[in-house]
Structure 1
Amino acid sequence: MKTLIIGPSWVGDMMMSQSLYRTMKTLNPEIEIDVMAPAWCRALLNKMPEVSKAISMPIGHGKLALRERYQLGKSLRNDNYDQAIVLPNSLKSALIPFFAGIPKRTGWKGEQRYGLLNDIRTLDKQAFPLMVERYIALAYPKNSVASAADLQKPLLYPKLIVETQDAIKTKSEFNLQDQTSLIGFCPGAEFGPAKRWPDYHYAKLADMLVKQGAKIVIFGSNNDKQVGDAIINQMAFPDKCINLAGATSLQQAVNLIAGCKAVISNDSGLMHIAAALGRPLVALYGPSSPDFTPPLSDQAVIIRLISGYHKVRRGDSQEGYHQSLIDIKPECVFEKLMTLLHQPQADLQS
């Protein structure tokens, strides 16, 4: 059986979608899975052994581009797909499988996609509270799972595979080959400061970790470079921290995170990548909630001081930080991390 997945357009969602691919392979080891997603996703899809081929989606997120979608669908007609699974909920995301003439087109109802999808599912959000459960449910025949309780357990969490030679090569490219106690910081958030742990807290935590023998590496996009610089500028040991925000490709960042002893992150796409790499992870949440999209890893610890749903908007502080994140103290994060590493107050170089 050959299946085309129309994948999501965000890092975190793309990572969670791997649980679907892993489940599909478990249910049918002979299945061939191709994923259509934005070109940047190739860096992640190439590290998912369940995916046979990554197909670049050339149409920008949010654009209808009806003619282009028709041409793209038409170009897939000879690929003999038996099924398409559409993960985004938009109407336009279902157009390409329809134009490709794929006989079985599966997805949640979303934007009234009757006709475009012919294996359409109606979502009970209470029955499937986690996004990853909603993805995994699409691996099963219609009406065979009524709730998350019916899904095969344990859930198959995302699991990226980084080849040893790739990790070594990337470390060498950034002169980190001799470092064995790297701690990754992922301080950025696409939404802005309200989802970020304050830079001054990161700086204090960095100094605490440096005293235990760690070297700090900051990851993120070019938009996060300023935040990374602010962290270093407030450190007592700035020479023990390197800011790689905006300096790496996504593939390089994944390879380097795989080599970190642990990761500290806000709620972000890189948080989900760290979880999928099996790195010990302390995930910091404020107004955004882990109830829907938590880090999927047995090696992750979540710190959140508030409960319930909070609309993410500009925070209370002058810098835009949310008070619930300001209230998470570096000492608390340090303690959680040391416990996670099973070495309270231990030397990180051990």
Structure 2
Amino acid sequence: MPSALAQTFPGAEVQWITRKDMAPLLKNHPHIQRVWEFDRKTGLLGLIKLVWSMRAENFTHIYDAHNNMRSRVIAWILRPLGIIGIGPKFIRRSIRRWKRFLLFKLRINTFEMPFNGQRDLLEPLQKWGVSKIAPPAPQIFPSEENLKKAAEVLGDYTNAIALAPSAAFFLKRWPKDYWKDLIQLLPGERFVLLGGPEDSFIEDIHAVAPDRVLNLAGKCSLNVSSAVVALSRAVVSNDTGLLHVAEQLGKRTIALMGPAPFGFPSRPTTKIMELDLYCRPCSKHGQGPCVNKEKYHKCLVDITPPQVAEQLQGILRGHS
């Protein structure tokens, strides 16, 4: 999005407000001049203080891409007279509640297909002349310091295959044993496992081949994990944050897409593996419950390790 704005408004200063834990992904972007970091631990009062200080920037355009209570508070403070049309130009992205109701409750899909997370974020900005076609990768720029740290923790595993077996909700996770099978189907490859400190199950995947699998789950910051992805040969990921990191880095990636529709990748470097089922998508974030009457978790269980291994081998041959 920053690059798309820069294409439309050459010379404009783009500033971004985001959660503190997400801010590292925006650092070093050539088209973002300032990142405002909100620490959720400071609560509503902390948010108000932060945004009040932003008023001095005298923004001419404001885009609320998130459209939640927090982003509405930000908009109210930055454009207090917006209700009567006075102040910065403003766009709020619709979350399309009616379309979501039709999709999840009545199984009527009125969304533009295929699902495309980047397009959905850029589309509202067409009112300002911004194209809804995503700018080319990379759109994430790891610092030299973080690339160095990533190289240190990787050691001999630089240029290995990065695997992201976790996800916020269980139904978005390819089965744990399938990751083990994938590793065993490719005995000549090295793998790096990425995840958070709470993803203790990843150690079980590591144990299947500890001589050629490096477990970095919970051992790297978001900054360093992003740099690890940048130094990887290819990526296989569930529908989770590291999938989008890989895509914005332009890495060759396999995306295992299950129950949720709104985080779909779209770059040609990403191979989407999914099943056409009557029950998909079943929920906004993949929180469930599973509604398939034939088989529990069918949308990911029926994507088999040999199928993924075949696609991955094709990517690796093309990369080499």
- The 3-state SS of whatever aligns with 1:140 is helix
User: Which runs of 5 or more residues in structure 1 are unaligned?
Assistant: 1-19, 113-124, 145-150
Deviation, 1:189, is 0.7
Question: Considering only aligned residues, what root-mean-square deviation do their CA atoms show, in Å?
Answer: 3.0
User: What is residue 14 of structure 1 aligned with on the other side?
Assistant: none
Q: Is the 8 A contact 1:86 1:93 kept in 2?
A: yes
Q: Which amino acid aligns with 2:270?
A: A
- 1:73-152 equivalences in 2 (<5 Å): 73-101=51-79, 103-108=88-93, 126=111, 130-141=116-127, 152=131
User: Which runs of 5 or more residues in structure 2 are unaligned?
Assistant: 80-86, 98-109
Deviation, 1:57, is 1.4
User: What is residue 241 of structure 1 aligned with on the other side?
Assistant: 213
Q: Is the 8 A contact 2:247 2:269 kept in 1?
A: yes
CA distance in 1, matches of 2:88, 2:301: 52
Q: Is the 8 A contact 1:91 1:111 kept in 2?
A: no
Residue 204 of structure 2 corresponds to residue 230 of structure 1: yes
User: What is residue 234 of structure 2 aligned with on the other side?
Assistant: 262
Q: Which amino acid aligns with 1:152?
A: S
TM-score where L is the length of structure 2: 0.80
User: What is residue 271 of structure 2 aligned with on the other side?
Assistant: 301
CA distance in 2, matches of 1:90, 1:153: 22
Task: State, as a whole percentage, how many aligned pairs show the same letter.
Answer: 25
User: What is residue 71 of structure 1 aligned with on the other side?
Assistant: 49
TM-score where L is the length of structure 1: 0.74
User: What is residue 205 of structure 1 aligned with on the other side?
Assistant: 182
Q: Which amino acid aligns with 1:93?
A: S
1:34–1:188 distance in 2 versus 1, CA, 3 Å: same
Farther off after superposition, 299-308 or 33-42: 299-308
- The 3-state SS of whatever aligns with 1:238 is coil
- The 3-state SS of whatever aligns with 2:92 is strand
CA distance in 1, matches of 2:78, 2:71: 13
User: What is residue 83 of structure 2 aligned with on the other side?
Assistant: none
Residue 135 of structure 2 corresponds to residue 156 of structure 1: yes
Name the structure with the higher helix share.
2
CA distance in 1, matches of 2:289, 2:124: 36
CA distance in 2, matches of 1:280, 1:92: 35
CA distance in 1, matches of 2:76, 2:2: 21
Q: Is the 8 A contact 1:162 1:255 kept in 2?
A: yes
Deviation, 1:85, is 1.2
Q: Which amino acid aligns with 1:77?
A: R
Residue 270 of structure 2 corresponds to residue 284 of structure 1: no
